[in-house]
Structure 1
Amino acid sequence: MSGQAAAAAVPRHVGFIPDGNRRWARVHGVSVLDGHRRGAEVTVAALRWCARVGVERVTVWALSLDNVLRRPELAGMLTAITELAGAVAAEEGWRLRVIGDLDRLPDPRCAEALRALEAASPKDSVREVALAVAYGGREEIVAAARAVLADDPSAQLEADALTKEMERRHQGDCDLVIRTSGEQRLSGFLLWQSVPAELYFTDELWPDFTEDAFRRALASYAARDRRFGA
């Protein structure tokens, strides 16, 4: 394979839906918090795997907005997410961004900590990781549309304008979405950006996800005839 072809076989932007922390905790007889912490360790490891193969952009869905609204036992999860953000921010070569409606989090200290970690993250890093916290794809599209109209109330909403706003807020189109735990749906993850993405589903729970499993996902991606949403 030529160097150009090999580069094309590596996705530029990978999105992870890391399902299975709670189920892993039940299987192993540990607390839900320990399950989330184990999942956080895998997330940090996944950034290193991505760096090794040349992935430049990563988005990790750490907490959905639906879970914020519906799940009362969020304290442990928010602790794990804050710890994860700190670990991600410490990874050399990665810039941390946080996307989602942090104002909806029940503990403002968590939102403040996430914003502080994002602000302190180096802006000149080659690679970028976005943690999606209190995130919903529909809500993201609505927020982008409102931003476009706020800039020009007389403007007609068009796809190009929304795409530019999405790129300003986030990282642009996603090439590969990987979801663990056997679920086979996006559930609102990167709805706008995932239109051209290839989807890869695996039965492994996120805390059991390995570099070998990641490379299988990359091999599947490389073998596909990409039609970019068609």
Structure 2
Amino acid sequence: MDGNGRWAARRGLPRAAGHKAGGEAVRATLKAAVKAGVGTLTLYAFSSENWRRSDKEVSDLKGLMRYYLERELEELAKEGVRLDYIGDPSRFGPDLWDRLQKAREKTRENDKLHLVIALNYGSRAEIAAGARRLAEAVAAGGRDPASIDEAALDSALQTADLPELDLVIRTSGEQRLSNFLMWQAAYAELMFIDTLWPDFGEDEFNECIRAFGQRQRRFGGR
């Protein structure tokens, strides 16, 4: 979800206003995903590299997370959205982490849309942690090194219980993955669009789904 800062700058607004508008785009996208029958949607909300941003911007982002948890949780639950996380959200502090855990528990039985928020997430760190867990199992004598294959590493990642990744959409014209689901995206379709994230809504989402439906997925077979 890229382009909040540029959206705000073009309007002479503070970056926080762009992040707030980005939050509204999240709401529109969730509704579009539910309507389209999407089963799982993962949103890259805060990367492990985002800590390099100013203390004020990080504080603003944490405040917005808290705000939307308070404001949107009942609506998410009502619409059948199940909330989940990947990354390490505990670094945001005990108050926000407690709210995130309660939100996950409250929506645990919902089944219309599995919404996964990537918070303090980095794909390289996720892969390294998965490899470390497998290495520890070998060192403890509980695993044969010869048994470690792609499926074993896949099962050691935080996304092990999620379905195969089909489509990655990046907004704002940037054309890179930026440490997002790099293992999982091996055969996913990639879509880079010029729309800034705060301007992304139902029409843009549906257009991405339509374009995805026209692609031929060969998985290296031909």
Q: Same fold (TM over 0.5)?
A: yes
Q: Match of 1:51?
A: 34
- Range 23-32 or range 59-68, more displaced: 23-32
- Range 33-42 or range 114-123, more displaced: 114-123
**Alignment check: 8 A CA contact 2:46 2:121 kept:** yes
TM-score, length-scaled by structure 1: 0.83
- Range 79-88 or range 109-118, more displaced: 79-88
**Alignment check: 8 A CA contact 1:19 1:181 kept:** yes
- Shift in Å at residue 200 of structure 1? 0.6
Amino acid at match of 1:134: N
Q: 1:229 to 1:95 in 2, by over 3 A?
A: farther
Q: 1:76 to 1:183 in 2, by over 3 A?
A: same
Amino acid at match of 1:79: G
Are 2:125 and 1:139 aligned?
yes
Aligned residues: 212
- Shift in Å at residue 173 of structure 1? 2.3
**What is the correspondence of 1:131-210 to structure 2 with a 5 Å cutoff?**
131-153=117-139, 154=141, 155=143, 156=145, 157-166=148-157, 169=160, 171-210=162-201
Are 2:207 and 1:213 aligned?
no
Cα distance in 2 between the residues matched to 1:229 and 1:82: 43
- Range 200-209 or range 76-85, more displaced: 76-85
* 2:84 maps to which of 89, 92, 97: 97
Amino acid at match of 1:97: D
Q: Match of 1:20?
A: 3
- Shift in Å at residue 168 of structure 1? 5.8
- Shift in Å at residue 124 of structure 1? 4.2
* 1:126 maps to which of 95, 98, 112: 112
SS of alignment partner, residue 195 of structure 2:
coil
Deviations 1:201-222 (A, max 9, x none): 1111000112221122112211
Amino acid at match of 1:109: D
Amino acid at match of 1:102: P
* 1:83 maps to which of 46, 64, 67: 67
Q: 1:88 to 1:56 in 2, by over 3 A?
A: farther
Amino acid at match of 1:178: I
Deviations 1:163-205 (A, max 9, x none): 1233665524210111000000101111111112101111110
Unpaired stretches in structure 2, ≥5 consecutive residues: none
* Percent identical: 36
**Alignment check: 8 A CA contact 1:89 1:117 kept:** no
**Alignment check: 8 A CA contact 1:65 1:134 kept:** yes
Question: Bigger radius of gyration, 1 or 2?
Answer: 2
**Alignment check: 8 A CA contact 1:63 1:134 kept:** yes
